[in-house]
Structure 1
Amino acid sequence: MCGCWHAGRVDRHELCVRFAAELWLFLPPRDRHADLRVPYDGTSSLGHVVESAGVPLPEVGSLLVDGRPVTPSYRPLTADLIRVLAVRRPQQVPSSRFVLDVHLGTLARRLRLVGVDVAYRNDLDDDALIGQANAEERVLLTQDRGLLRRRGLWLGAYVRGARPDDQFRDVLDRFAPPLAPWTRCTACNGVLSPVGKTEVEELLLPGTRRSYDTFARCLTCGHVYWHGAHGSHLDEIVDEASRIVAPHVS
C-alpha cells in the first residue's frame, strides 16, 4: 500500500500520487518509488499535476482516484488516493501508421523493413512533425518528452531504449503492428514491387548481375532491392519482429 496514504494527514499543498513502476523512468531518480508527494496549488488539473511531475500524458493509461477512473481535467483534493497507471500493451491505436522524430532514423528503417508504414525525415522541426502526425493520423514516436506534452499533438508515444535494437523491440511490443516484411522501401517508405532482372540490369554492378536473379523496385523512388550478402542479418531482424508480435495476434 502507498505509505503516504496512511500517514494520517497530507499537507494541504501536496498530493500523494502512486505512479506505476513502468512510469518511473520519467521521474527524477530521487522520486522513483511507490509514493510521491507532489506540490499542488489547489486549482490545477490532475493532468497538469502528472505532467509537472515529469510523466507525459500519452504514457498514461488511466488515472484513478479512490479506485474510480477520472479524466486529466479532474481537479484533485488533497485527501484523494491517486494512482497513475501506464498504457496497457499492446496499445490499441486508430491506425498502425507512425512518424518518427529526427533522432530515430535507424528505427525507421527497421520498422520499414518489416512492412510498417513509417514516415521519417531528418530535417523536420517539432511543429512540422506534429503537423504531419495530425494531418496523416500517424502516431508520433519520439524520445523528446517535451514534444509529447504539446497540446496540439493528437497521439504520441515515448520510445524506450538507447540502442536501435531495444527501441525496435519496444515499439513492436507496445503496438504489435501488422507486419509485411520486404514490402516497403527502407529509404523512403514507398511500396516495393517485383521487377524483372532485365528491367534493372543497367542499374546493377557486375557482381550483382552475376549472382542474383530476384529483384524488387520501389514504386516511389525507384530504389532496387535484392536479397544480398547482408540478407541473413536482415532475416534475423524480421524473424525477431515476428516473434515479438505473434503473441498479440489472435
Structure 2
Amino acid sequence: MVTARFRFHGELNDFLPPSRRERDFDAPCARAASAKHMIEALGAPHTEVGRVHVNGEDAELERLLCEGDRIDAYPGGDMPAMPPRFVADAHVGGLARLLRMAGFDTVYDNAFHDAEIARIAASEDRVVLTRDRDLLIRREIRYGRYLRALATEAQMEEIVARYGLAAHAQPFSLCLHCNAPLHPVDKAQIEERLPPLVRAHYAEFSGCDICGRIFWKGSHYRRMEALLARVLA
C-alpha cells in the first residue's frame, strides 16, 4: 500500500464528495495501482479526464503510482472525429431523440445492457451518453460524457457545447424513430396513407425506408424547429 496526494480540477470535482472538492487530499493506493485506476476509484470516469500530471509533469493514465506521488487530474477526455456519432443508454432516450432531430447519428434502445452499449461504442467509435458513472469506467469505452443535467433540453445544450455540434447540425435529416436517413417522397406514392387534412394542405413529404414512417412540416415541425433553435444557439 502506498499513499498519494490528489487534486481534481474543474468539472472533475463533480464526482467528488464536498469534503474533497477544490483541494488536495491524500488517498491510499494499492501497490501497482495506475493513475487511471485511482482516479476512477475516487469517482471520475476516464472518459471525463483530459490531462494528468504526476509530480508536475505530463503523465499517461496508465502511469503506476509510487509513495508520495502528487496527481493533478484535469477535465477533458478524448474527442471523437467530427461530426460525432453517439450511443445513448436507457436513461437518456429524450436526448437521443433530440440528437436525431438535429441530424446526429444516435443509436438508442432502452433494452440495451451496459455491455452492449460498450461494444457498440468501441466497435463504431461512438460517444457514450449516460448518467451512469459505472458504465463510463468500462475499459473499452474511449469517448463518453456523464450528463450533469437532468432535463432533456439542458442535456442537449450540454452536449452541443461539449462537442461543438451547432456547426454540424443537419436538422430533420434522420428518422426520429430508427435513426435512418430520410429522403423526399412523392406525394402520389403515399397519398392513400395520409390523413385527409394532411392530404389537403401539404405537398412535401419525407420518408424512412426502415420503419416506413412519413413526415411533413405541420405544426409539430414548427415546434421542433423552435426547440432546435434554442438548444443549438
Aligned to 2:64: 75
Amino acid in the other structure paired with 2:111: D
Match runs of 1:216-231 below 5 Å = 216-231=206-221
Match runs of 1:57-68 below 5 Å = 57-68=46-57
Q: How many percent identity over aligned positions?
A: 33
Counterparts of 1:21 and 1:159 in 2: how far apart (Å)? 15
2:187 maps to 1:200 = no
Q: Which runs of 5+ in 2 are unaligned?
A: none
Aligned to 2:144: 156
| Partner of residue 92 from structure 2, selected from 80, 104, 115 | 104
TM-superposed deviation, 1:125: 0.8
> The residue matched to 2:135 in structure 1 has which SS?
helix
Amino acid in the other structure paired with 2:49: V
Provide the TM-score with structure 1 as the length reference: 0.85
Amino acid in the other structure paired with 2:194: L
The list of structure 1 runs, each at least 4 consecutive aligned residues, that deviate by more than 4 angstroms after superposition, is none
Match runs of 1:15-164 below 5 Å = 15-87=4-76, 92-94=79-81, 96-164=84-152
Counterparts of 2:101 and 2:204 in 1: how far apart (Å)? 17
> The residue matched to 1:112 in structure 2 has which SS?
helix
> The residue matched to 1:234 in structure 2 has which SS?
helix
Counterparts of 2:86 and 2:104 in 1: how far apart (Å)? 8
> The residue matched to 1:188 in structure 2 has which SS?
coil
Q: Do the aligned partners of 1:114 and 1:241 also contact (CA within 8 Å) in 2?
A: no
Aligned residues: CA RMSD: 1.9
2:154 maps to 1:166 = yes
TM-superposed deviation, 1:211: 2.3
Counterparts of 2:58 and 2:117 in 1: how far apart (Å)? 31
Q: Do the aligned partners of 2:9 and 2:22 also contact (CA within 8 Å) in 1?
A: no
How many correspondences in the alignment? 230
TM-superposed deviation, 1:235: 1.2
